[in-house]
Chain A
Amino acid sequence: MNPPPQTPAQRPAPRDPAPETDVLGTPETRLRTAGAPLGSTGASVPAPAAGVAGADNPFAATPFERTKRRRLKWNRWMMFGFCIILIVPLVAILADIFIKAAPVLSLDYLWANPENKGKGGGIWAPLVGTFYLVIGSLFFVAPIGILAAIYLNEYAKEGWLNRTIGITVTSLAGVPSIVHGLFGLGAFVLTMLPAINGALGLTSHKLEAGLLTASLTIAVMNLPVVITSTREALGAVPQAFREACWNLGATRWQTIRTIVLPNSFSGILTGIILVVSRAAGETAPILFTGVTFFKFVADEGLAKIFPYHPGEPFMAMSMHLNIISNQISRLPENMKYGSAAVLIALILFINSFAIVLRVWLRGRKRW
């Protein structure tokens, strides 16, 4: 063993590894360093004389603690680095799109209908189509998804049935959207529409694939997301609240209505608004179920605000962008980027709306 080094009386600089041996002086610190990688400090030493040890700071970091602190610091920088890697492409993409779109972006661009296969004019017809598609899909998915989640979380007993439904919902969330599109074609366009037409006895103005079938398809696609997020929101309400109500003789539904729903509302809403952006952005599910590249839309009046009958093809942002980006030749670059920018802005707007709403509702949380 080496002889004890001359330890400096003052505390060494934290980054300097050599004088760390001084903290080994007192018996207490030696206990704390048991098992620490002493070799890394360069000198493994027994306790110095008692007189020298008295000068030690008993709270000084042990070599083990210093190594740990270094490692934690390194970890933090690494995670920060990954975060940057994540953000840089996002900013780059947004900047690229919005800079290239800038020349065409204006209120007129939003308000005018596309002309000449999207080479001119604006974006109104697909924008309003996407709007009605989102509203239509919410009309189906919100009540069904929320009620299903309430049943699964509040009523259903733990058991194989509940577990099976849970697994089914999760699997459904993993199905590719084009598969949902094919399902919508088979179930809604080829089966449901002829049945409705037959039942109503329509011969001339038959219902075709359109907003109705596309909304239903999007709703089916988003159902698992709504169910899962709603279940999570309901599950975040402490069980003790429910038990307190049950002990007072409140029925399950009274408990849900008065305590559970008011306190999970913000979480449920967040889930709903997240599926809105999914509904606005997806092309594949609506490809076979009602969307079209071009449909004549009135340029003014009420018909411009309500351009689509639910039983006829409609235009949508995602489809419009898809076609003008790779199907139309000699289309000005700016028009493509303009359409992309509007779609992104729409989704960003909806998401920031969700965030603001959630922050506001969380501020009103009652426990």
Chain B
Amino acid sequence: MTQAQPHLEFRRVSAFYGEKQVLNNVSFTVPRHGVIGIIGPANSGKTTLLKTINRTLDFITGARFTGEVLLNGDSVAAAPDPNALRRRIGMVFPLPVGLPLTIYENVVYAPRRQGVTAKAALDEIVEQCLRQAVLWDEVKDRLDMLGTRLSGGQQQRLTLARALSLSPEILCLDEFSIAIDPVTTMRIEDVLKELRKTVTIVLVTNLVQQARRLASEVLFLWRGEVIEHSPADVVFSETPKDRRTYDYVNGIFG
């Protein structure tokens, strides 16, 4: 299943908020250009798992994790510059956040901080990322409008466009479609199907069907523990490895 060098690897990762443990001994690998779907009920540690990857857990007082998260075999905990690490990882969280800047400046926020100033290069980034986030057609005539004035679903796609602006090698999506209508969701999923040829995608989702459509392998997380990590067709078959996976996927989880 995995290549010699997995793109992303979790080795016995446990995460804590103060005394409260939210991840317990999580281990898994994601091959390069794989799509891993992470499913599980609320409060099972899915978001925390993403925050360990780009080390935004550092910003939460009292939060820490043990074990190793390896990106291309390098431990993220030992990354000399966490900000450089974060720039390699596109991150989309469920609450849409339009920065209080224009739509244009929202998308080029990260490239500008990287010293990109050429107008042509920025224009290209804006168009490409907004097209990938399926927002271009709606906003191309009003790029100087404030991002915060967009609707929730549009802001969510703006967040996605921002995450794509640095051409990340890993894209982490945390329930990205929560505020987006089904038709647009399907169009974004089509884009993701295109992106997964070049990008590794970690897809946290509450929509089991979405994981089925996109993921090549699925991780079922429950109360901070990995219940099952199998290829997607096994998880969604009649006989996954763990009975609880079957129950969750089929909506009879107690």
Bound pair: A and B? Answer: yes
In the assembled complex, which residues on chain B have CB atoms less than 8 Å from the CB atom of A158?
61-62
Pair B95/A258 contact, Cβ less than 8 Å: no
In the assembled complex, the CB of B238 is this many whole angstroms from the nearest CB of chain A, namely: 39
B139 to chain A, nearest CB (A): 16
CB distance from B162 to the nearest CB of A (A): 6
In the assembly, what is the distance between CA of A365 and CA of B100, in Å? Answer: 8
Is B159 in contact with chain A by the CB < 8 A criterion? yes
> Cα distance A278–B21 when bound, in Å?
50
Complex partner residue of A247 from B84, B93, B98, B113, CB under 8 angstroms: B93
Residues of B within 8 A of A246 (CB): 56, 59, 86
Q: Is B97 an interface residue (CB 8 A)?
A: yes
- Number of interface residues, chain B, beta carbon within 8 A: 28
Tell me if A248 and B162 are in contact (CB < 8 A).
Answer: yes
Which residues of the partner chain A approach B239 to less than 8 Å between Cβ atoms? Answer: none
Chain A residues within 8 Å of B180, by CB: none
Q: Is A254 an interface residue (CB 8 A)?
A: yes
Contact check, A249 vs B83: say whether CB atoms are below 8 A apart.
Answer: yes
Task: Tell me the complex Cα distance, A258–B99, Å.
Answer: 10
Stretch at the interface among A70-78, A214-222, A223-231, A236-244: A236-244
Name the residue in B54, B62, B85, B113 with the highest tally of chain A Cβ atoms < 10 Å from its Cβ: B113
B110 at the interface (CB under 8 A from A): yes
Cβ A248 vs Cβ B113 within 8 A = yes
For the complex, is B101 an interface residue (Cβ under 8 Å from A)?
yes
* A254 nearest CB neighbor, chain B only: B113
The answer on a CB contact under 8 Å between A247 and B86 is: yes
With A243-B56, A258-B109 as given contacts, are A367 and B148 in contact (CB-CB < 8 Å)? yes
The listed residue with most A CB atoms (<10 A of its CB), out of B56, B91, B100, is B100
Chain A residues with CB under 8 Å of B87's CB are 248-249
A251→B59 CA distance, assembly (Å): 12
The answer to whether A248 and B110 touch (CB under 8 A), given A243-B59, A367-B100, is yes
A9 close to chain B: CB less than 8 A: no
Chain A residues within 8 Å of chain B by Cβ, number: 22
How far, in Å, is B115 (CB) from chain A's closest CB? 12
Please name all residues of chain B whose beta carbon is closer than 8 Å to the beta carbon of A365 when the two chains form the complex: 100
Contacts of A249 in B (CB 8 A): 83-87, 110, 113, 166
The answer to whether B163 has its CB under 8 Å from any CB of chain A is yes
- Mask, A151-186, CB within 8 Å of B = 1, is 000000111000000000000000000000000000
B46-66 contact mask (Cβ, 8 Å, vs A): 1 or 0:
000000001010010110000
Q: Are B163 and A247 in contact (CB under 8 A)?
A: yes
Nearest residue, chain B, Cβ from A365: B100
Complex CA distance for A259 and B105, rounded to whole angstroms: 11
Which B residues touch A250, using CB under 8 A?
83, 109-110, 113
A residues within 8 A CB of B93? 243, 247
Does A247 lie within 8 Å of B61, measured CB to CB? no
In residues 333-367 of chain A, which contact B (Cβ within 8 Å)? 365-367
- Of listed B83, B87, B163, B166, residue having the most chain A CB within 10 A: B83
**Complex contact A259–B99 (CB within 8 A):** yes
Q: Does A245 contact B (CB under 8 A)?
A: yes
B128, chain A: closest CB distance, angstroms: 16
Q: Please give, as numbers and ranges, the residues of chain A lying within 8 Å of B86 by CB-CB distance.
A: 246-249
Q: Contact: B97 with A241, CB < 8 Å?
A: yes
| B:63-94 near A, CB below 8 Å | 83-87, 91, 93
A259 and B109 alpha carbons, distance in the complex (Å) = 10
B-side contacts of A367, CB under 8 Å: 98, 100, 146, 148
Docked CA distance A154–B212 (Å): 41
Are B109 and A263 interface neighbours, CB within 8 A?
no
Contact across chains for A244 and B97 when beta carbons are under 8 A apart: yes
Residues of A contacting B95 with CB < 8 Å? 240
Q: How far is the CA of A249 from the CA of B113 in the complex (A)?
A: 9
Report the bound CA distance from A209 to B110 in whole Å: 51
For this complex, 26 residue pairs linking A to B, each with C-beta atoms less than 8 Å apart, are: A241-B99, A244-B99, A244-B159, A244-B162, A245-B99, A247-B54, A247-B56, A247-B91, A247-B93, A248-B87, A248-B109, A248-B113, A248-B162, A248-B165, A249-B83, A249-B86, A249-B87, A249-B166, A250-B83, A250-B110, A251-B113, A254-B113, A258-B101, A259-B99, A259-B100, A367-B98
Closest 7 CB pairs of A and B: A366-B100, A249-B87, A249-B86, A248-B110, A367-B148, A247-B91, A244-B97
The interface of chain B, by Cβ under 8 A from chain A, is 54, 56, 59, 61-62, 83-87, 91, 93, 95, 97-101, 109-110, 113, 146, 148, 159, 162-163, 165-166
Beyond contacts A158-B62, A247-B54, A367-B146: 15 other A-B pairs, Cβ-Cβ < 8 A, are A159-B61, A240-B95, A243-B59, A243-B93, A243-B97, A246-B59, A247-B93, A248-B87, A248-B110, A250-B110, A259-B99, A259-B101, A366-B100, A366-B148, A367-B148
**Which A residues are within 8 Å of any B CB, using their own CB?**
157-159, 240-241, 243-251, 254, 258-259, 262-263, 365-367
